[in-house]
Chains A and B, each alone.
Chain A
């Protein structure tokens, strides 16, 4: 999944979609995920990195990542694959 180029993400986790005017806040984990998605990192790499950083089980991280990605889609922050 890729995040749309025009989405602004600040260092403190404030996310702004200039196309819709919607804004969101994410915690540090959400910010890490968004930044990795923006860099185009693959799901496995994100899970691995978060698992190491937060010393959590990869299965838990994977489930949380899928939940997060579903929300990103719901709020139209992702780039369409086509």
Chain B
């Protein structure tokens, strides 16, 4: 790691540290613990009640940014306004839904000195849930069988090829387990109303769920990889507690994924290990997960390494991590003056 400490200004999204948390606050904790550089953190928020906005010990200043639906131009213009005041060096977007815009803008932002280290647009598209079967085939990775459907009538015909239960998934978020036709139709309607079409119907793999977070350098090399088993899962399917493990098969699969795809940036693999010990890749999240601070805590500061890669600095691959270390999440009530809420709500900055 670099020894002469440079001070970077880093903008981070995903400050919604709620019951289904965004990764922002955990990413910031990693950045503030970076040994190879100092940093000041600028928060980027969509909503005035994202808790990170009010964590002044972590975030120096927060700005509202427009929702992805407003388009990339609106985001670009807002980022330029912020950049003018704050002189950003790096931006770390942490939501799936905003990544398209940030990837599209990455070259333009770099011209202004704002660095990022994101997957290519091809990588981002290839790992979409709708493209997962093709992805598995291309890279020789087991994925559950799945089909994208557009009407509830199609569910009935799936019974010929699939057994119940089935996993009914939204294009971007949300998943529900359905044990019969009626449950599948209800899930279809509920999820499609929120996230649109198509709906992905996926074969259910019985087994134990594991997650791996890591970082690829875009050349096929593994910079970081930490596998975790969820120990406590919320009703939204999010890990509220987890433990690092040493499963070599999960690490091998991760190395294969990085080598085959030449993945660029941070990621989270959602894996299911069946009784025969075979791993199925359920999902690829093209960003840092909310539990990233566990990776930092066991010796792989992925936010720091990602920042170094974004800056184009030499970055050594992590070789070790501590297995058997746990994270336990907790909720914490902050007392906030109305004036602060008023400031971010009306002026879009705090």
Which residue numbers of A lie inside 8 Å of B, CB to CB? 6, 8, 16, 18-22
Contacts and interface: CB of A to CB of B under 8 A. Distances in A.
Contacts, number: 24
Contacts of B242: 21
- The 7 A-B residue pairs whose C-beta atoms are closest, nearest first, are A21-B229, A21-B245, A18-B323, A21-B243, A18-B246, A19-B247, A18-B324
Contacts of B208: 20
A21 B230 CA distance: 9
B247 A20 contact: yes
A19 B245 contact: yes
Contacts of A19: 245-248
A6 B324 contact: no
Contacts of A16: 324
Given A18-B323, A21-B245, 19 more contacts: A8-B324, A18-B245, A18-B246, A18-B324, A19-B245, A19-B246, A19-B247, A19-B248, A20-B208, A20-B229, A20-B245, A20-B247, A21-B210, A21-B228, A21-B229, A21-B231, A21-B242, A21-B244, A22-B229
Most buried by B among A6, A16, A19: A19
Nearest to A8: B324
Interface of B: 208, 210, 228-229, 231, 242-248, 323-324
A34 to B, nearest CB: 17
Nearest to B277: A76
Contacts of A18: 245-246, 323-324
A30 B231 CA distance: 24
A20 to B, nearest CB: 6
Nearest to A6: B246
A20 B230 CA distance: 10
A8 B245 CA distance: 12
Nearest to B228: A21
B70 to A, nearest CB: 42
Nearest to A23: B243
A78 to B, nearest CB: 14
A6 B244 CA distance: 14
Most buried by B among A8, A16, A20, A22: A20
A19 B229 CA distance: 10
B327 to A, nearest CB: 12
Contacts of B243: 21
17 contacts: A6-B246, A8-B324, A16-B324, A18-B245, A18-B324, A19-B245, A19-B247, A19-B248, A20-B229, A20-B245, A21-B210, A21-B229, A21-B242, A21-B243, A21-B244, A21-B245, A22-B229
